[in-house]
Structure 1
């Protein structure tokens, strides 16, 4: 169990520091429907992480060999995910200093309803390629470890809590002390837009190398 949690921590942090959902959550908290939209977004974000992870826990469990050794297929999947993350990280690193246009869906956040916020949160967690690859890697790490059902549930919960924390904590904090958090949230949004691409690209590169190492080690 301990080794699995150790594998999950960098992946969870990789999802947690993803700038797009954090910026989207902050924009919702500064919008005219701050409460309902941000709660819907946070719920969708958590559910998307859990669903994507659980799917690949089940898939990787079915690929596991009966002798409890990591299957070759699982190792190749980890290797492929590591290579893809290296590619994504390199692309992000090369584009870290450029100007980036604001996506149209971000411009429409001020008029979003709770239902649309939920759908957006789910999509960013379960469909966005970078976050999805982290969830796939987490699911494979859990599913290939042949843990008892209770420990599998705990591992998924730990991953989801850490991965979703950077979206959920600001939402909960805003509901408790909205007036005091408006200015810090606006400042955080500006900082993320300026710096998080660099941080994220380095983290993705590191996680990619780790996954490649684990994939090669299981072949």
Structure 2
């Protein structure tokens, strides 16, 4: 069990980083701190984001239980799932790279995040986890990977918690830092926001390709073993 536990935690890191390092995750977390009440609005956004990630991952964890059974030996389809996920991520990253010139500006909905109230910020964050196809796709991959890992029932929920914490870390970082430091972070946040607005398309493409290669390798390695 210890080897399996350590293996699934390591496997979840690249999946979680697809969400954590996506500018479409980080930029809204920075923009929400420009709201009229930045502290409560930011914390509400973080709560909605975490709950959304946890709910999606749990749904697909339960789905894996229906098709295979939690706590059993990982089936061969789990390795093929990783291969499919890896290939799709690579193709997605290549597509985003080719389209990067037409994606230099942030989507219009992002610019409206700074006008949200705390309640709307929580609802928006939860909705973004479902409406963002990449987040939905990665949570599905994580939930199915955890459910097919061979871990028993209490341990799989600890793995879900680990995945959510890593995936939400870059959203939590600016919001928690602002809750502690307040307006002193405004200049830094403004620079980060401006840089990510210019580079978000290239960053997304590169991250998708790198993580796709890691997931693909994991699937091929599992089949070979």
> Could you state the TM-score of these two structures normalised by the residue count of structure 1?
0.89
> How big is the shift at 1:15?
0.8
Deviation at 1:61, TM superposition (A): 2.4
The alpha carbon displacement at 1:7 in A equals 0.5
- Separation (CA, whole Å) in 1 of partners of 2:110 and 2:10: 34
Q: Cα 1:184–1:58, aligned 2, differ >3 Å: closer, same or farther?
A: same
Residue 86 of structure 1 deviates from its aligned partner by 1.9
Is residue 35–residue 117 contact of structure 2 (8 Å, CA) maintained in 1? Answer: no
**Which residues of 2 match residues 1-219 of structure 1 at below 5 A?**
1-64=5-68, 68-216=72-220, 217-218=222-223
Q: Bigger shift: 74-83 or 25-34?
A: 74-83
How many residues align? The count is 219
Whole-angstrom distance in 1 between the partners of 2:133 and 2:110? 18
- Offset of residue 65 of structure 1: 6.3
On the 8 A contact 2:16/2:167 being kept in 1, the answer is yes
CA shift digits 1:147-193 (9 cap, x unpaired): 12232121111111111011112111101111210010111111212
Give me the TM-score of the superposition, normalised by structure 2. Answer: 0.87
Q: CA RMSD in A?
A: 2.3
Q: Which moved more, 1:84-93 or 1:61-70?
A: 61-70
Structure 1 unmatched ranges of 5 or more? none
> Which deviates the most, 172-181 or 30-39?
30-39
Q: CA deviation at 1:218?
A: 4.2
* Structure 1 stretches of at least 4 aligned residues deviating more than 6 Å after TM superposition: none
Q: Distance in 1 between matches of 2:159 and 2:44?
A: 24
Q: State the Cα deviation string for residues 121-170 of structure 1 (Å, max 9, x = none).
A: 11222331111221111111110012122321211111111110111121
